[in-house]
Chain A
Amino acid sequence: DQQVKQNSPSLSVQEGRISILNCDYTNSMFDYFLWYKKYPAEGPTFLISISSIKDKNEDGRFTVFLNKSAKHLSLHIVPSQPGDSAVYFCAAIRSTTSGTYKYIFGTGTRLKVLA
């Protein structure tokens, strides 16, 4: 059961243009969403997050949008830079009725920014 989905396995964007990475989820009980960037042979690095009560969060070149009715979030990178080339994972935190929680990761989108 893939609760967090990234339907585009890869994306290529010209340097300076906008990169838009998409993520869909199925569970309306997610409390918090995060985006991570991962370079080969390294651990995921946190980029930006958004609470389920918000619809937008911005940090420098990175903006995350959340559309709860569509169960969809997106990460916008403007302007894109070659150093942004990496695999991007969206993740969601779900708390359970027993008070536990779990991070669930999407399958990742490989972004390539072309110089």
Chain B
Amino acid sequence: EPEVTQTPSHQVTQMGQEVILRCVPISNHLYFYWYRQILGQKVEFLVSFYNNEISEKSEIFDDQFSVERPDGSNFTLKIRSTKLEDSAMYFCASSERLTTEAFFGQGTRLTVV
């Protein structure tokens, strides 16, 4: 069964450093998303991406964040200068159409120290 894969599973970084979280969405999917879940809190929408551009982003997704689909298969989330409060589980998801279910990856646990 096709699945969304994310690497790495766990990333530890120093505050102020840049991190890139990687995702390989399901191959025939056209819509891509990043979400995050701070420990013990709800799953929060960050950004959606379609046709090589951002469709929607939340207030969390500020100038420190960027997304890219560099090669037609990978979908990356970059945080330029990490803060302690960026520590969370980051989930990538993809969906075939706008109103179909999104399939989520296993997540990358980002720990900023």
A residues neighboring B (CB under 8 Å) = 31-32, 34, 36, 38, 41-46, 49, 51, 89, 93, 95-96, 100-108
Cα separation A102 to B43 with both chains bound (whole Å):
13
The distance from the CB of A85 to the nearest CB of chain B, in whole angstroms, is 18
B101: Cβ under 8 A from any A Cβ: yes
In the complex, the answer to whether B99 meets A93 with C-beta atoms within 8 Å is yes
Not counting A43-B104, A49-B100, A102-B56, a sample of 19 additional A-B residue pairs whose C-beta atoms are within 8 angstroms of each other reads A31-B99, A32-B99, A34-B101, A36-B104, A43-B105, A43-B107, A46-B102, A49-B101, A89-B42, A89-B43, A93-B98, A102-B45, A103-B33, A103-B35, A103-B45, A103-B48, A105-B42, A105-B44, A108-B43
Cα–Cα, bound, A46→B103 (Å): 7
Q: How many A-B contacts if CB must be within 8 Å?
A: 60
Closest 3 CB pairs of A and B: A43-B104, A46-B101, A107-B42
In angstroms, Cα B45 to Cα A108, docked, is 14
A interface majority secondary structure? strand
Contact residues in A for B28 (Cβ distance below 8 Å):
none
Expressed in whole angstroms, the Cα–Cα distance for A106 and B41 within the complex equals 10
